[in-house]
Structure 1
Amino acid sequence: MKEVTVPDIGNYAGVEIIEIAVKPGSVVKKEDTLITLETEKATMDVPSPLEGVVREVKVKVGDKVSQGSLIVLIEENEQQAEVQATVQEEKVAPQPVVQVATTVAPSQPNAAPAIQTQTVTVPDTGGANEITVIEVAVKVGDDIAFDSTLITLESEKASMDIPSPYAGVVESVLVKVGDKVSMGTPIVVMKARMENAPASQPQASAEIPAPAKAPELAPSKAPTPAPVAAAVTMDASLAHAGPATRRLARELGVDLGKVAGSGHKNRILTTDIHTYVKTALQTLQQGGGGGGLAIEKAPEVDFSQFGAIEVKPLNRIKKWTAKNLHRNWVTIPHVTQFDEADIGELEQFRQENKQAADEMGVKLTPLIFIMKAVVSGLKAFPQFNASLAANGNDLVYKKYFHLGIAVDTPNGLVVPVVRDIDNKGLFEIAKELGEISAKAREGKLKPAEMTGSSMSISSLGGIGGTAFTPIINAPDVAILGVSKAQIKPIYMKDAFVPRKMLPLSLSYDHRVIDGAEAARFLVHVVEQLQDIRKLLL
């Protein structure tokens, strides 16, 4: 019998199950969907890693699962079972694995402590490479306990502590702060006391399970609420917190340097973040915290007193979108610049090439040309292809050209990213945009497909309207809104002539971009659209 668990799903934890595709007795093939999960941004299917018969389903709709959570028990086909029988007996229950340089022999409960020299390496980091070491927590001669932090790494999205899979004495430290490491990079060499390692379980294993990151999800005791005033102040990057905690802090806009940790060695837990936010909100409601964004809460209204009503809960994507849009609108000083582009020649060129596009199975819409024009603008005005650093003092300039395209789906608004537009032709962009938009509407986008944009575009041209003020999709510093093109009388050469005009609305972050810069950027985009030959320059 094979236990099937949730595979690597990125940095997500506590993901909700919205569908179970199998039941006891179901015959499944490799890659058949077992369950469907829904994060705040997307849904994802969890496929079966093997062929066989489902004997037991261990989850139900609405359950929250993470990487390693048990899903189903599958009885493998006899041929597969014979091949994997020996390997299966040697495996322990699914846990994250820390790779080590030598094989650890199983220690018996009553055996004398075994001392072995072990080289501990960086475990699986979820595909991230060249991660920066921001803290080295041990030195030569330290006698450390099992699960003690060795080093702390920081990627673009999160920081993570690397724990020791052994108890013992550090003989040498092989990395230093600022080094770049990847999965398998040696960290320390130590004299390990094997009686405290997880290998002391009855089953032996050639790999040493890393401790589950349970401390920040299920603390052994309820933390004491930490008042805001009592919280320490330090550099947030030095705070002792795991990836999930740091991600939650970023989502809620909490400075980890001001949060008091209640975990082991003052580790900051997710519950500490919730306590901090709750205390801060209570302070604001009581009239304190004068420097905060104290917005009066809207009064609750009983709408049933006016007539019949129906209450429907928002789905997770719409709730997530609402939270992000509200945060972006409140924290980013928006200014919107408006202009129009004469797309008469562009439209003529598009119609001339429409048949060729249809034969290739792609749609050559005006949006494709707009994307190329925006990338031209990003090259001419690099401050638009940038993001404000978290410290508020630095501007991060991007050397890539990826555009987020807002897509309206049955489940809500999502923004998939089309990458490397500067290196692609019109037909190739049209093909990729069609594919990723289809995935968005089908709810099959992966989280990685919705990150990394240089700037975003929101096009309502297919619906209507003359102008609107799009909300910036942080950490971008600008977004271009596109409304419906219409024929207008334009004064040209002493006469009014009918021209097809496309309304454009550019919202930008006034902390980064000045009004004059925004006007020049939008004029540049308009010029590219009015004379598409410039897109070739």
Structure 2
Amino acid sequence: MIAGTANAQRFREFKMPDVGEGLTEAEILKWYVQPGDIVTDGQAVCEVETAKAAVELPIPYDGVVHELRFGEGVTVDVGTVIISVDTDPGAGSAQAPAASGAQEAAAAASEEDAEPQGRQAVLVGYGAAPSSTKRRARKPQAGVPAQPEPASAALQAELNGRPAPAPMAAPMTEAAPVAPASATPAVSAAGAGAGRPLAKPPVRKLAKDLGIDLAAVVPTGPDGIITREDVHAAAGRAAAPAAPAEAPTPMAAAPAVPGVVDTAARERRVPVKGVRKATAQAMVASAFTAPHVTEFITVDVTRTMKLVQELKQDPDLAGLRVNPLLLVAKAFLVAIKRHPEVNASWDEANQEIVYKDYINLGIAAATPRGLIVPNIKDAGAKTLPQLASELGELVTTAREGKTSPAAMSGGTVTITNVGVFGVDTGTPILNPGESAILAFGAVKLQPWVHKGKVKARQVTTLALSFDHRLIDGELGSKLLADVAAVLERPKRLLTWG
């Protein structure tokens, strides 16, 4: 018991943490360490993707990596051990704690009954293979063919230099000819014994996730154990295009149906997981929970575009990201301050409307992993340079896939900039729990009546979707009209702000 306790203290296990708010699983994107690498407390050992973001996990121990329990691309439940660390590598070789007392006792009992020459590896939770225990050969009954030795016996016979017993075929009226020992096909250790391949639980989980049948995997580990590399190799062979087979005879070829195209061979399926899965669930929940209303307005933003060019030369904004989105965000914040009832949320459980005295402004960002909406905390209290700084940092972090779950929680309203894709406008869906979302369309040079004459002006279309439980038509219309008014005459940022 003392040795077991010391062993457990030496080998520390790190479990998949809940890096978000009530998340249940995460996918391991990349390992930064391998077994044998030295790690220190606080060092990032892997990158994982949750339903909200990709984050790096730091290890809380000093020592040497003993084992990685899961490979890259595997989705792991929160609370599952993903890596073990030897915190005292100078103490010599030792067995990492991996089994309960009952499992160890069962494994020891199995080893006591095992033959010295036919012993196979005992895997935690699986016990010894039945082929390793002593059994007296049964005498064949009259008229009943003798039963063949297990496959493990054939393998053991070959290892000991004895002729391997030929496998028996199905019962026949005449004895089947026995093939010479040299012609007996080799039996893989993974299929020996009771017929269940030898593999550790993490390897079995990996094979299950990749859709690989362990019975078809060729083992390369000690004592015929299937390793992660064996599973990945089998997955690679399964994914590789099959070798061209012999040309079928005209009778074997399926007749082509005129006008019918084989579309299955031209389709590609990708599992829905991580950020994209969470976004899909959130959008469905929002669309069928909050009654959406969308209004549109087209506005002349020529003066705003001129102001953007002037601000880019301002020393107080040097090095900051200054673009039309910055002024649209500022105009949206000013309009919300003029109509604070907009900034609210619906509490279904308590049947209450929660009005908020802070504005957490979300910015919808398209990333390789899907759409995410991080937000700028208390954006309404920030100056224009502060807003520009945080907006630039938010976009950069999102594109790098480093946005934290905390940065995406607590939003109150959102802006989606569809104009960067050349789109005029759209009907955006609310981020769950928020009251409004503003779509900023492309700014284009268009003919416009200006001071009584038709001139070429820079024009854009804004679309505002809002929760009709919180915002009625009048309030929503006033909010959108004020945003447009600020962008048409940006001097209102001073008089209204």
The one-letter code of the counterpart of 1:508 is F
Matched, 1:451 2:451: no
Matching residue within 14, 24, 27 for 1:5? 14
**Cα deviation, residue 313, structure 1:** 2.2
The match for 1:35 is 46
**Cα distance in structure 2, aligned partners of 1:445 and 1:438:** 9
The one-letter code of the counterpart of 2:389 is K
The match for 2:33 is 22
**Cα deviation, residue 465, structure 1:** 1.6
The match for 2:78 is 66
**Cα distance in structure 2, aligned partners of 1:445 and 1:56:** 29
Contact kept? 2:47, 2:56, Cα under 8 Å? yes
The match for 1:268 is none
Contact kept? 2:317, 2:385, Cα under 8 Å? no
**Cα deviation, residue 526, structure 1:** 1.0
Matching residue within 466, 471, 479 for 1:513? 471
Give the aligned length. Answer: 317
**Cα deviation, residue 306, structure 1:** 7.1
Q: TM-score, normalised by structure 1?
A: 0.55
**Cα deviation, residue 417, structure 1:** 0.5
**Cα distance in structure 2, aligned partners of 1:69 and 1:355:** 54
**Cα deviation, residue 385, structure 1:** 0.4
Identity of aligned residues (%): 34
The one-letter code of the counterpart of 1:534 is R
Q: Residues 459-489 of structure 1: CA distance to partner in whole angstroms, max 9, x if unpaired? A: 0111112221001112112110011011222
**Cα distance in structure 2, aligned partners of 1:35 and 1:307:** 36
Where does structure 1 differ by over 6 angstroms across 4 or more consecutive aligned residues? none
Q: Residues 73-97 of structure 1: CA distance to partner in whole angstroms, max 9, x if unpaired? A: 133588xx9xxxxxxxxxxx9xxxx
Q: TM-score, normalised by structure 2?
A: 0.59
Contact kept? 2:45, 2:59, Cα under 8 Å? yes
The match for 1:238 is none
More strand, by proportion: 1
Go from structure 1 to structure 2 and tell me whether the alpha carbon gap of 1:476 and 1:357 turns closer, same or farther (over 3 Å shift).
farther
Contact kept? 2:41, 2:62, Cα under 8 Å? yes
Contact kept? 1:3, 1:70, Cα under 8 Å? no
Matching residue within 305, 310, 322 for 2:268? 310
The match for 2:375 is 417
The match for 2:460 is 502
Contact kept? 1:4, 1:74, Cα under 8 Å? no
Contact kept? 2:361, 2:413, Cα under 8 Å? yes
Go from structure 1 to structure 2 and tell me whether the alpha carbon gap of 1:49 and 1:468 turns closer, same or farther (over 3 Å shift).
same
Contact kept? 2:427, 2:465, Cα under 8 Å? yes
Question: Aligned with 1:476: secondary structure?
Answer: coil
Matched, 1:52 2:63: yes
Go from structure 1 to structure 2 and tell me whether the alpha carbon gap of 1:50 and 1:485 turns closer, same or farther (over 3 Å shift).
same
**Cα deviation, residue 40, structure 1:** 0.9
**Cα distance in structure 2, aligned partners of 1:442 and 1:531:** 35
Contact kept? 1:462, 1:484, Cα under 8 Å? yes
The one-letter code of the counterpart of 2:272 is L
**Cα deviation, residue 503, structure 1:** 1.0
Go from structure 1 to structure 2 and tell me whether the alpha carbon gap of 1:76 and 1:378 turns closer, same or farther (over 3 Å shift).
farther
The match for 1:194 is none
Question: Aligned with 1:317: secondary structure?
Answer: helix
Question: Aligned with 1:355: secondary structure?
Answer: coil
Matching residue within 430, 433, 436 for 1:478? 436
Contact kept? 1:4, 1:48, Cα under 8 Å? no
The match for 2:280 is 322
Go from structure 1 to structure 2 and tell me whether the alpha carbon gap of 1:8 and 1:391 turns closer, same or farther (over 3 Å shift).
closer
Structure possessing the higher relative contact order (Cα contacts under 8 Å, 6 or more residues apart): 2
Go from structure 1 to structure 2 and tell me whether the alpha carbon gap of 1:531 and 1:54 turns closer, same or farther (over 3 Å shift).
same
Go from structure 1 to structure 2 and tell me whether the alpha carbon gap of 1:63 and 1:462 turns closer, same or farther (over 3 Å shift).
closer
Matched, 1:336 2:294: yes
Matched, 1:531 2:489: yes
Q: Residues 434-482 of structure 1: CA distance to partner in whole angstroms, max 9, x if unpaired? A: 2122221222111111011120111011111222100111211211001
**Cα deviation, residue 303, structure 1:** 8.8
Contact kept? 2:287, 2:429, Cα under 8 Å? yes
Go from structure 1 to structure 2 and tell me whether the alpha carbon gap of 1:486 and 1:392 turns closer, same or farther (over 3 Å shift).
farther
Question: Aligned with 1:346: secondary structure?
Answer: helix
Matching residue within 365, 368, 373 for 1:407? 365
**Cα distance in structure 2, aligned partners of 1:422 and 1:303:** 57
Two-structure CA RMSD over aligned residues (Å): 2.7
**Cα distance in structure 1, aligned partners of 2:41 and 2:457:** 57
Contact kept? 1:52, 1:74, Cα under 8 Å? yes
**Cα deviation, residue 532, structure 1:** 2.0
**Cα distance in structure 1, aligned partners of 2:490 and 2:31:** 50
Go from structure 1 to structure 2 and tell me whether the alpha carbon gap of 1:421 and 1:305 turns closer, same or farther (over 3 Å shift).
closer
**Cα distance in structure 1, aligned partners of 2:18 and 2:40:** 20
The match for 1:176 is none
Go from structure 1 to structure 2 and tell me whether the alpha carbon gap of 1:500 and 1:431 turns closer, same or farther (over 3 Å shift).
same
Matching residue within 267, 286, 303 for 1:345? 303
Matching residue within 385, 399, 408 for 1:427? 385
The one-letter code of the counterpart of 1:342 is D
Go from structure 1 to structure 2 and tell me whether the alpha carbon gap of 1:30 and 1:384 turns closer, same or farther (over 3 Å shift).
same
The one-letter code of the counterpart of 1:329 is A
**Cα distance in structure 2, aligned partners of 1:303 and 1:473:** 41
Contact kept? 1:417, 1:453, Cα under 8 Å? yes
The one-letter code of the counterpart of 1:34 is V
Q: Once structures 1 and 2 are overlaid, which stretch shifts more, 501-510 or 356-365?
A: 356-365
The one-letter code of the counterpart of 1:24 is P
Matching residue within 322, 328, 348 for 1:370? 328
**Cα distance in structure 2, aligned partners of 1:428 and 1:4:** 43
Go from structure 1 to structure 2 and tell me whether the alpha carbon gap of 1:13 and 1:348 turns closer, same or farther (over 3 Å shift).
same
**Cα distance in structure 2, aligned partners of 1:342 and 1:36:** 46
1:241-390 equivalences in 2 (<5 Å): 304-305=262-263, 308-356=266-314, 360-390=318-348
Go from structure 1 to structure 2 and tell me whether the alpha carbon gap of 1:63 and 1:327 turns closer, same or farther (over 3 Å shift).
closer
The one-letter code of the counterpart of 1:13 is T
**Cα deviation, residue 47, structure 1:** 1.2
Question: Aligned with 2:491: secondary structure?
Answer: helix
**Cα distance in structure 2, aligned partners of 1:71 and 1:58:** 6
The one-letter code of the counterpart of 2:68 is V
The one-letter code of the counterpart of 1:366 is P
**Cα deviation, residue 321, structure 1:** 0.9
**Cα deviation, residue 31, structure 1:** 3.2
Go from structure 1 to structure 2 and tell me whether the alpha carbon gap of 1:76 and 1:48 turns closer, same or farther (over 3 Å shift).
farther
**Cα deviation, residue 508, structure 1:** 1.2
The one-letter code of the counterpart of 1:71 is I
Contact kept? 1:59, 1:72, Cα under 8 Å? no
**Cα distance in structure 2, aligned partners of 1:412 and 1:357:** 36
**Cα distance in structure 2, aligned partners of 1:441 and 1:493:** 42
**Cα distance in structure 1, aligned partners of 2:45 and 2:376:** 29
The match for 1:104 is none
